[in-house]
Amino acid sequence: MARIPLLALVLSLQCWVIASLFHPLDPLNPAEINHIRHIVLNSHLATLPNLTFHFVDIDEPEKKDVLKWLSSNKNNEPFPRRAKVVVRAGGETRELVVDLTGPGSITSDHVYRGHGYPPFTFQELYQASQLAKKDPRFKNSLLRRGLNLSEVSCIPLTVGWFGEDVTYRALKIASYYRGGTINIYARPIGGISILIDVETMKIIEYIDRFKVPLPPAKGSDYQSTNQNLSSFPCNQTDRGFTIEGHKVRWGNWNFHVGFNARAGVIISTASVFDAVHKKFRRVLYRGHVSETFVPYMDPTNEWYFRTFMDMGEYGFGRSADSLEPLADCPGNAVFMDGYMAGADGRPQRVDRAICIFERYTGDVAWRHMEVGVPGRTIRRVEPEVNLVVRMVATVGNYDYVLDWEFQQSGSIKVGVGLTGVLAMKATSYTNTDQTKQDLFGTFLANNIVAVNHDHFLTYYLDLDVDGTDNSFIKAKLGTKRTTSIGIKSPRKSYWTVVKEMAKTEADGRIRLGSKPLELLVVNTNKMTKTGNYVGYRLITGQPVYSLLSDDDYPQIRAAYTKYQVWVTAYSKSQRWAAGFYADKSRGDDGLAVWSSRNRSIANKDVVVWYTVGFHHIPYQEDYPAMPTLHGGFQLRPANFFERNPLLQ
């Protein structure tokens, strides 16, 4: 059993005490992670076999306690720190709550007996990837194909759930050939299916169904001919923001930046300064990606199971890549490292996991030219300068660029960029003229097909618009005839707005489509001087939702993707749209289940869930590497200020 030297422990605790004075939502630092490991390994759990750490994060504190601490103006007082820890030991999943005060202790130890499993550790993924290479059946399959084992990469994939009564932790292996290229995904080895029991780390099923030509290496390399980073244009705006620990202050914004292994970047306690009222006003308590759902549209044996939930099965934070200065982020960026616990409980660092930078967009924040004043031409214009918080998660073949962009107008733009390399399969065909059946994708080059798929990124948005108790309003635009209101006019029609306040969670479930609609979160307890409820608008992106049938097993697990917008009553334990245990989940936990309780959401603490969706039909321009595809949404003030905050 591992032991931490006394001196090291004392130093760690000193570091923790200093850090604990900062902010209740600060992520766990390395000293705290080591402290948690020490507590667990010196408890009764140390005697259990195969003890591994799968999730270690702060135990979400009570919201009212955090808000009270932040408003007390006594931020030099420590806030109690606890950690939520999920371990696997002896074939069981155990949920722990660890008190970090003083020497620390485990205050709760619960065996989870529901459906689903915690995220895989990197160690498990690596071990599974190496297992196939030692198997004589796999070596024989490669020999029959004339392939060199030393040039083969094995990628572990989660397997989903397809109605099995009894499940176990499992991975399937997809194999690729690197010979002649660094783009391993461009040279898939077709026909081989390998199933691994993760608990025993043994191959329990091996199938070699067919041989198919290996796609050629020529033309598959994605190394750019223009990657001299020193030549990349720098953003020349001055660094107009300050960072104290994880607290960021810029312009009229004040917010907190966190990080964990599952969500990656987390924005918390965002408040905007109101010059009229001369105070900061609350906007967003917590915001982060809650879950992704990436189903591939190929029902064949080697592909049907590829219905990934990247956050719950792997983790966006665990997949965070180190950002490249002057390429991922401009020259005026400030970087933050990210920390998480590894399978052995020790802290792991992601260098430059997050960058924060001020960006001159080249856009106009506001503008007007006036010639109506006699003898004068009045021209007023203000350039737009925003603050960006960025993280990139590389999950297998895809890179997700995640941006939170704060604007001095009071808006928050949330951007998602999809790039990386397509998931491809080998085929005997070299041209579309030869095909006689559905290939479930697009021909990109000789013997290579990129499979159709979806990306759904569901955001958790705990809005606190000028206070905790909020309401959700659907502002519907409809056509009216002028004759209906008794006005004589050459006009025959106009449109008007009918506002409906959602009373229950069923009213807050929305599938966006052809009907014009504006969505608002308002505080009915606060009004502007003219009598409007203060609020924020959710300006949505493309109205994309899942096209899978309701009885399809992947859709049962991700039922929430049938609607782009959900509004639920706040619960600190309900943050992950597919449920906390996403691997092999069955759809009996998560957003759709919580919403079915139909709780009241009128003048309550509510959470908005919005899904950024992409139906991705691949095109040849996406090969060998994909230009970034953009999506996102915006949170924009709606009668929140008395007037344009840019002019205050």
Tell me the pairing of strands 202-208 and 192-197.
Answer: antiparallel
Classify 494 as helix, strand or coil: strand
Give the active site residue among 57, 274, 298, 310: 310
What pLDDT does 251 receive? 95
DSSP line for 560-601? GGG-SEEEEE--TT---TT-S--BT--SSSSHHHHHTT--B-
Give the active site residue among 177, 398, 400, 570: 398
What pLDDT does 233 receive? 52
CA distance 439 to 436: 9
User: How is residue 184 annotated by DSSP?
Assistant: G
What pLDDT does 438 receive? 87
Active site residue 429: no
What pLDDT does 33 receive? 98
What pLDDT does 225 receive? 64
Query: Which of 266-274's residues contact partners 24+ apart within 8 Å by CB, and which partners?
Result: 266/25, 266/27, 267/389, 267/404, 268/25, 269/25, 269/66, 269/70, 270/406, 270/412, 272/410, 272/645, 274/641, 274/645, 274/648
What pLDDT does 73 receive? 66
Active site residue 126: no
Residue ranges, the chain, pLDDT below 50: 1-20, 231-232
Tell me the pairing of strands 202-208 and 565-569.
Answer: unpaired
What pLDDT does 486 receive? 86
What pLDDT does 432 receive? 86
CA angle 25, 31, 33 (to 5 degrees): 70
Characterize 216-241 residue by residue with b for buried, 16 or more Cβ atoms within 10 angstroms of its Cβ, and e for exposed: ebeebeeeeeeeeeeeeeebebeeeb
Q: What's the predicted TM-score (pTM) here?
A: 0.95
